[in-house]
Amino acid sequence: MESGTLLSGGQRALIRESWQRLSGSPVQHGLVLFTRLFDLDPELLPLFQYNCKQFASPQECLSAPEFLDHIRKVMLVIDAAVSHLENLSCLEEYLCNLGKKHQAVGVKVESFSTVGESLLYMLEKCLGAAFSPDVREAWSKLYGAVVKAMRRGWDTLPEGD
């Protein structure tokens, strides 16, 4: 995870500035992200169950305390990536393990592109005019690096698992 070559100094500044605008309300912004995710791919809803309880609707899921905890965790991972823009490689092992956990609960690698679309949607909706093409490109690069590290979690599982 070569963050030095991945993102320019200007891109890192754009990411930090835009994230700072959102970091005060992580759950609120996370709800925008996950609402969009379920709109784009309702098939992901069954992956989210707590105490063997299936949610009947995205709205039920989005209001469950356990899911709100999941949103907080997702936003913390984004925050960690933003906080370590100069040295994303220090998150490599954590993200790889996070990938393994997502695979274990049935997440498909292909779903990460939908999550990426949802992240960009959330940034656009919550930043408004401050969401420029340059901001989009910077976040896309950062998200791509995070997903690449998480995908290593799939790649490192032994055959048959």
SS3 54: coil
pLDDT tens, position by position, 126-148 = 999 999 999 999 999 999 999 99
Asked, for residue 9, whether it belongs to a domain, the answer is no
**Domain containing residue 37: CATH number:** 1.10.490.10
Longest C-alpha distance within the chain, in Å? 48
Phi, psi of 48 (to 5 degrees): -100, 100
Is residue 6 in some structural domain? no
Residue 86 is assigned to a structural domain of this protein: yes
pLDDT at 1: 46
| Average pLDDT for 32-44 | 96
pLDDT digits (tens, 9 = 90+) for 59-101: 999 999 999 999 999 999 999 999 999 998 999 999 999 999 9
Rounded distance between C-alpha atoms, residue 41 and residue 86, angstroms: 33
Q: Would the pLDDT of 157 be above 70?
A: no
pLDDT in the model for residue 160: 46
Backbone angles phi, psi at 106, to 5 degrees: 100, 10
Is 20 a member of any domain? Answer: yes
Residue 42 lies in a domain: yes
Asked whether residue 5 is assigned to any structural domain, the reply reads no
State the Cα angle at 28 between 125 and 81, rounded to 5°.
Answer: 80
How many domains does the chain fold into? 1
Instruction: Provide the domain limits for residue 146.
Output: 14-153
- Give the predicted TM-score (pTM) of the model: 0.90
129 is a domain residue: yes
